[in-house]
Amino acid sequence: MRDLITEPAWKETDLGIPLPDDRHAVSVCMPTWDSVIGYEEGRERIVSKLRCGYPRFFKHPAVERLFSECEQAVALEGESVVVFPHRDAAQRALRFVEKRNGEALRVAGFDGLQVLVGSEDACKLAMEYWRYTGEIVSSRQALDVMDGDGLWKYDASELLRRLEEYGGYAEGDVFVYESGMSAVYAVHRSLSKLNPNKKTLQLDFPYVDALKVQQNFGAGAVFLHDAQGELFDEALNRIRKGEFSAVFTEVPSNPLLRTVDLQRVSEACKEGNVPLVIDDTVSSCFNVDVKPFGDVVTTSLTKWISGKGDVMAGAVQLVEGSAFYSELSAFFNEDCEDGCRLYAADAAVLDENSKGFIERMPVVNKTTDAIVKYLSDHDAVAEVWYTNGDTKKQYDQMKKPVGGYGGLFSFTLKNDKKAAKFYDLLEVSKGPSLGAEFSLVSPYTLLAHYDELEWAEGCGVSKNLIRVSVGIEPKGILLKRIKNALDAI
């Protein structure tokens, strides 16, 4: 049995799709169900084998070494450190720690980076800030500080123009951040300033840390995990009354691929003068255009637009004509100087990766449609969640004429006890993240909500749910590998 989660369950080169260079990989292979549980429970035989992991949750070896060098340089005996990419992030993390445990950390400079110094407990809290907000130091940034010629600059103007073109945004209305969560957090910061005493509203079950940011910063959040029926009607009434500082929603949602009725939400937000924040990461701007409904759009560029699994980035996109455009434009032009806060080496990689976005997505859409149809008709499958399911009508409101239904879906088996065996047998790369040109499978709920499984199941997200991000591999081979795993359980 494979339990070394640094070893792929099979070679991606079998399908002609190489794994990302693990020097800067943003995912990690977890080839068995047990290895996922071992990772979540911190079992030494699993964790000790990790070479890399998702950067907000697991420090890359280069980043770990940077932390160690910073600790040796600026910390006293018994003190720990957390390194941030710039002063503003360090100051915000410092305030986060002070609010949580009252400890005041020191801030020190280190070759252009900012270091928080304090007790081990305080630094653990600072690492929570690192995870939630995505204001992180990348592996490339760490290596340039330690082994290179120091931090360098990159002209991101071509990257920004390409992102503007992909999403149909006006010049100067796209801002690139260190990660998708950094972009979400920046939007949350901007809107919390407009109405600091009001909570946000999260509509439908979101990616885990999109909700955590709203709960841990600002005035807190109200969460409606299923935006349908009477509770949805009640939420719309509260929006019309102006009760919230902002409404956040993902279209479609992750991992249940549901689409809220954006038309109704948008109308309520306009009536109540409440900003509407829409995240289009899961399907991407190739497939959907959410601008007609929202005031600001967030996107994890780590996913489909990069497509390579080797760089973290996020985007904030302002919508011309929004009632909040002037305030948001002023905030982001100050917060994200020159439109790009992503480290230079990462911006250069994203710039190159993003050139293949338009070619990748039609292949992904077509293959995913075929796999979803196959699984929906299979006797062993209990339920499949996809954008062309129960909320297809709502999704079609924003689907582009040339777009499709995206490359992400989730499903469960009728026999829950067979989920682990199916996962172990499936010869597809396994791990967190989505949107790479190689397919990725994960027991999503275990990875994202292991410490709150009962809560997640109460929201309709099964602990045995399997999420699949489809790549550009040959459709026939992927279907055959899924069939082989289902036939063998």
State the average pLDDT over residues 388-399: 97
pLDDT tens for 334-358 read: 999 999 999 999 999 999 999 999 9
pLDDT tens for 60-102 read: 999 999 999 999 999 999 999 999 999 999 999 999 999 999 9
Range(s) within the chain of domains with CATH label 3.90.1150.10: 12-24+356-488
Range(s) within the chain of domains with CATH label 3.30.70: 61-137
Q: What is the CATH number that goes with domain 61-137?
A: 3.30.70
Predicted confidence at residue 233, as pLDDT, reads: 98
| Cα separation, 187 vs 355, whole angstroms | 26
| Cα separation, 111 vs 126, whole angstroms | 20
State the average pLDDT over residues 154-169: 98
Burial class (CB in 10 A: 0-12, 13-18, 19+), 334: exposed
Predicted confidence at residue 48, as pLDDT, reads: 82
| Cα separation, 57 vs 130, whole angstroms | 9
Domain over 12-24+356-488 is classified CATH 3.90.1150.10: yes
| Cα separation, 332 vs 318, whole angstroms | 9
Q: Flag whether pLDDT at 156 surpasses 90.
A: yes
Backbone φ and ψ of 72, nearest 5°: -65, -30
pLDDT tens for 303-344 read: 999 999 999 999 999 999 999 999 999 999 999 999 999 999
Query: Of the given ranges (5-14, 29-38, 269-278), which has the lowest mean pLDDT?
Result: 5-14
Predicted confidence at residue 300, as pLDDT, reads: 98
Higher pLDDT, 311 or 47: 311
Predicted confidence at residue 450, as pLDDT, reads: 96
Predicted confidence at residue 20, as pLDDT, reads: 54
- What is the bridge-based pairing of β-strands 440-442 and 466-469? antiparallel
| Cα separation, 22 vs 29, whole angstroms | 11
Q: Which amino acid is at 217?
A: F
Predicted confidence at residue 8, as pLDDT, reads: 37
**DSSP 8-state assignment for residue 65:** H
- What is the bridge-based pairing of β-strands 174-177 and 200-203? unpaired
Predicted confidence at residue 6, as pLDDT, reads: 34
Concatenated DSSP letters for 297-357?
EEEETTTTTT-SSS---EEEEEPTT-TTHHHHHHHHHHHSGGGB-S-HHHHHHHHHHGGGH
Query: For residue 345, how far is the Cα from the chain centroid?
Result: 20
Give the percent of the chain with pLDDT over 70: 94
Q: Flag whether pLDDT at 23 surpasses 90.
A: no
Q: Flag whether pLDDT at 117 surpasses 70.
A: yes
Range(s) within the chain of domains with CATH label 3.40.640.10: 157-355
Concatenated DSSP letters for 110-144?
ETTEEEEEE-HHHHHHHHHHHHHH-----HHHHHH
Query: For residue 71, how far is the Cα from the chain centroid?
Result: 29
Predicted confidence at residue 27, as pLDDT, reads: 61
Predicted confidence at residue 403, as pLDDT, reads: 97
Q: Flag whether pLDDT at 360 surpasses 90.
A: yes
Predicted confidence at residue 46, as pLDDT, reads: 86
State the average pLDDT over residues 160-164: 98
Q: What is the rounded average pLDDT for all residues in the chain?
A: 93
State the average pLDDT over residues 269-293: 98
Who's near 238: CB < 8 A, 6+ residues apart? Answer: 201, 244
Predicted confidence at residue 367, as pLDDT, reads: 98
Residue with the two structure tokens 């600790």? 71
Predicted confidence at residue 51, as pLDDT, reads: 73
Predicted confidence at residue 281, as pLDDT, reads: 98
Predicted confidence at residue 13, as pLDDT, reads: 39
Instruction: Give the SS3 label for residue 194.
Output: helix
Predicted confidence at residue 24, as pLDDT, reads: 67
CATH class of residue range 157-355: alpha beta
pLDDT tens for 215-265 read: 999 999 999 999 999 999 999 999 999 999 999 999 999 999 999 999 999
- Confidence category of residue 5, pLDDT binned at 50, 70, 90: very low
